[in-house]
Amino acid sequence: MSEVLNVEEIFASKVFTFGKMKERLPKSVYREVRQLMDWGGELSPASADVVAKAMKDWAVENGATHYTHWFQPLTGITAEKHDAFVTHPDTDGKMIMEFSGKELIKGEPDASSFPSGGLRATFEARGYTAWDVTSPAFLKEDATGVILCIPTAFCSYTGEALDKKTPLLRSMEAVSQQALRIVRLFGNDRATKVVANVGAEQEYFLVDREKYLRREDLVFAGRTLFGAPAPKGQELEDHYFGTIRERVGAYMKDLNVALWKLGVTARTQHNEAAPAQHELAPVYETANIAVDHNQIVMETMKKVAGRHGLTCLLHEKPFAGVNGSGKHNNWSLCTDDGVNLLDPGETPNENIQFLLVLACIIKAVDIHADLLRQSASDVGNDHRLGGHEAPPSIMSVFLGEQLEDVVKQLVETGEAARCIEGGKLETGVSTLPDFQKDATDRNRTSPFAFTGNKFEFRMVGSSDSVASPNTTLNAIVAEAFCEAADVLEKAREAGNLEVAVHDMIKEYMTAHQRIIFNGDGYSKEWVEEAARRGLPNFRSTVEAAGTLTTEKAVKLFEKFGIFTRVELESREEIIYEIYAKTINIEALTMIDMAGKRYIPAVVKYSRLVAQAVVAVREAGLEPEAQADLLREVNGNLSAARRALEGLKEAAAQAVAIKNAREQAFFYKDVVMKAMEELRTPIDALEMMVDKEIWPVPSYGELAFEI
């Protein structure tokens, strides 16, 4: 029997929750912290000391020896620098563990080694981390010991954001302020803020660690750079929602426990479409906490995998030929008095506030389709978007039958008198209940789909932080709300609010209906249709990067104080840098594997075949098959050698390019092509060479033997 898990007891046991603060802080200090969480501001130095002491005492009681400001630099992952709670021993030589308010609130990690895109010259490498009071501190427990992690924002000496959290927090404030203006127009005087909620579904692959370690491409690049397809892929659709293998199940169980302790509401788990692919979904929560928690999910997934002799691959495309991994970013807006602005109710055609919100979102996505697409781009995701599994790289909005019909009526007549109802689904079996079905079916091919009471942004890559997509979503919707409120507030003063709202919904939906697409987003026809509609199609990360610094983007982000022009320019620069470095690592890995593993193995094999040719001939027979095989192997070997030289040369040329943008494009257009050219003969050889001699585990072994 396995031990009984008390989820209620372990949940958030490693988090310094409100509950623990309430228990451990004097009432007045607790109130001050709560106030700060809701309204911002600064903690007084005296209170900061009190909070720090309470936090430290709790952490130490739970075994902590160190603390860290936990932040999210532009590498896309998290960073930490551990400091022990150790201070000068007293005169008796006794050590007292200490942690001051100053240390809690502000940190000063050397910022020079994080990507800054030229924001911060190395000689002024000061960077500061500042406690994000809205995200609770937690204890990380592993072989390093127990570390108190304090979620922080990371800024430069001159105040520019060097991380993903700061702009996200700024965007949340912006959308809250502008959304409040909208709900006020509809008579809501109780709400004091509007919160962006996010639920990030996380896809991942699990492979056997021992096999993983035998493949340099997985170790260095996180994805296979070579590999012939296995005889079986996902065509039987037998993995999706299939029974979970015991070894994977044991992993999921440990993962859940580890996450629950950290206050992450891991809820749903299932096998995904590709062999060895799985998914975990938490319950949604406030955007910045969801972003922090998603980082914790990714980190914990990797860590727990190691304990099970597995490796968790978060790369968007670990294997060619089967589905890659994404991260569905579910997003909605909710007032603090409990109204989800994206809830249409039973009869959306009568819900004017919802229709206005929807119209604003449609407008925002249409105007800033480029930015939204950019926010979901990263190097790995380029292999996924536009394939036949993930959404295309073209932004569009899926509304579903019911809402599409409402929009159609509004556009055509200015009124939406009817609405399609769900109706009954008859099972046709007397012992099964009939049930009410939703008015709208799902569409899995849309990058931005309305799913009942939220939008599901499906473009995001599995390894990426969800900070950027949500920062962008919040920003573009804040702008649309602001523009709407500017007009409607005047109309209210003039006493014709109702007519103005009505006109605005019709106007927005008419002007921006080109972004609505309910068909098959994977089809070739859509690419052509989208081009006719004038929708942007950025096929790669490097092509999308420039959208950050268009006048339109700068105006948007500066207006709401989310990014300055300089911050945007630096972010664009970092995208090129990271892109170039990533492809360079991939190219070098291929050069290494081809030169040291594949080619020597093929040489060895071809010698055996050549010996067989001679032996058969000596035995008086014609070695027809052996000679054919030898010719074929030899031909591919020559091609591989040539391609290897080609790749070496391309990589050398790329490194010499000084301009970051130019260099990134060179990697995309030239180096990637040279990589493909090397892969082709090697993958062909894999199908000819003796398995005993082939130097790395195959796709079949990686995906099916765990």
> Contact positions toward Mg ion, by CB under 5 A?
328
Q: Which does 199 bind (CB under 5 to 8 A by kind): ligand ADP, Mg ion, none?
A: ligand ADP
Task: Kindly tell me which residue out of 68, 332, 443, 540 binds ligand ADP, with binding defined by CB under 6 A.
Answer: 332
Q: Token digits for 34?
A: 């709560």
Q: Token digits for 606?
A: 């071809």
HSE-CB of 605 using CA atoms within 13 angstroms = 26
Q: Which does 208 bind (CB under 5 to 8 A by kind): ligand ADP, Mg ion, none?
A: none
Spatial separation of the C-alpha atoms in residues 381 and 631, rounded to whole Å: 38
Q: Token digits for 275?
A: 């062999």
Candidates 278-286, 296-304, 360-368, 423-431: pick the segment binding ligand ADP (CB under 6 A). Answer: 278-286
Q: Which does 332 bind (CB under 5 to 8 A by kind): Mg ion, ligand ADP, none?
A: ligand ADP
User: What own/partner pairs with CB < 8 Å and gap ≥ 24 does 31-35 have?
Assistant: 33/133
Nearest residue (CB) to ligand ADP, 199 versus 697: 199
- We find the least distance from the C-beta atom of residue 203 to ligand ADP, in angstroms, to be 10
Task: Kindly tell me which residue out of 62, 100, 453, 680 binds ligand ADP, with binding defined by CB under 6 A.
Answer: 453
Spatial separation of the C-alpha atoms in residues 692 and 190, rounded to whole Å: 72
**Interacting residues with ligand ADP between 336 and 375 (CB under 6 A):** 340
**Helices vs. strands in the chain: H and E counts, helices first:** 24, 17
Q: Does 468 bind ligand ADP (CB under 6 A)?
A: no
- We find the least distance from the C-beta atom of residue 489 to ligand ADP, in angstroms, to be 27
Phi, psi angle pair for 455, to nearest 5°: -105, 140
- We find the least distance from the C-beta atom of residue 654 to ligand ADP, in angstroms, to be 39
Q: Does 284 bind ligand ADP (CB under 6 A)?
A: yes
- Beta bridge partners, 516, equal 397
Q: To 10 degrees, what angle do helices 287-307 and 165-185 make? A: 140
Spatial separation of the C-alpha atoms in residues 561 and 581, rounded to whole Å: 31
Residue where the block lists tokens 């670990």: 318
**Burial (CB count within 10 angstroms: exposed 0-12, middle 13-18, buried 19+), residue 515:** buried
- We find the least distance from the C-beta atom of residue 473 to Mg ion, in angstroms, to be 16
Q: Is 151 helix (H, G, I), strand (E, B) or coil?
A: strand
Q: Cα–Cα distances in Å, from 260 out to 6, 244, 512, 655?
A: 11, 20, 42, 45
Candidates 62-70, 281-289, 483-491, 651-659: pick the segment binding ligand ADP (CB under 6 A). Answer: 281-289
Contact 390, 462 (CB under 8 A): no
Q: Token digits for 621?
A: 């027979």
Nearest residue (CB) to ligand ADP, 182 versus 198: 198
- We find the least distance from the C-beta atom of residue 442 to Mg ion, in angstroms, to be 9
Q: Token digits for 181?
A: 């203006």
Residue nearest to ligand ADP (CB): 199
Task: Kindly tell me which residue out of 328, 373, 384, 679 binds ligand ADP, with binding defined by CB under 6 A.
Answer: 328
Task: Kindly tell me which residue out of 95, 96, 213, 283 binds ligand ADP, with binding defined by CB under 6 A.
Answer: 283
Q: Does 282 bind ligand ADP (CB under 6 A)?
A: yes
Task: Kindly tell me which residue out of 122, 158, 243, 268 binds ligand ADP, with binding defined by CB under 6 A.
Answer: 268
Q: Does 454 bind ligand ADP (CB under 6 A)?
A: yes
Q: Which does 73 bind (CB under 5 to 8 A by kind): ligand ADP, Mg ion, none?
A: none
Nearest residue (CB) to Mg ion, 101 versus 469: 469
Task: Kindly tell me which residue out of 281, 544, 644, 654 binds ligand ADP, with binding defined by CB under 6 A.
Answer: 281
- We find the least distance from the C-beta atom of residue 201 to Mg ion, in angstroms, to be 5
Q: Token digits for 661?
A: 């943008």
Nearest residue (CB) to Mg ion, 56 versus 328: 328
Task: Kindly tell me which residue out of 109, 117, 199, 348 binds ligand ADP, with binding defined by CB under 6 A.
Answer: 199
How many residues appear in the chain?
A: 706
Q: Which does 453 bind (CB under 5 to 8 A by kind): ligand ADP, Mg ion, none?
A: ligand ADP
Nearest residue (CB) to ligand ADP, 267 versus 555: 267
Residues 6+ apart with CB under 8 A from 120: 111, 112, 126, 127, 156, 157, 158, 160, 162
Phi, psi angle pair for 271, to nearest 5°: -75, 145
Nearest residue (CB) to ligand ADP, 340 versus 510: 340
Spatial separation of the C-alpha atoms in residues 473 and 458, rounded to whole Å: 13
Q: Which does 283 bind (CB under 5 to 8 A by kind): ligand ADP, Mg ion, none?
A: ligand ADP
Which among 325, 295, 315 has a CA at the least distance from the CA of 459? 325
- Binding-site residue total for ligand ADP (CB under 6 A)? 17
Residues 6+ apart with CB under 8 A from 415: 409
Task: Kindly tell me which residue out of 152, 234, 330, 570 binds ligand ADP, with binding defined by CB under 6 A.
Answer: 330
Q: Are strands 397-398 and 448-450 parallel, antiparallel or unpaired?
A: parallel
Using CB under 6 A, list all residues that contact ligand ADP.
197-199, 201, 268, 281-284, 328, 330-332, 340, 453-454, 456
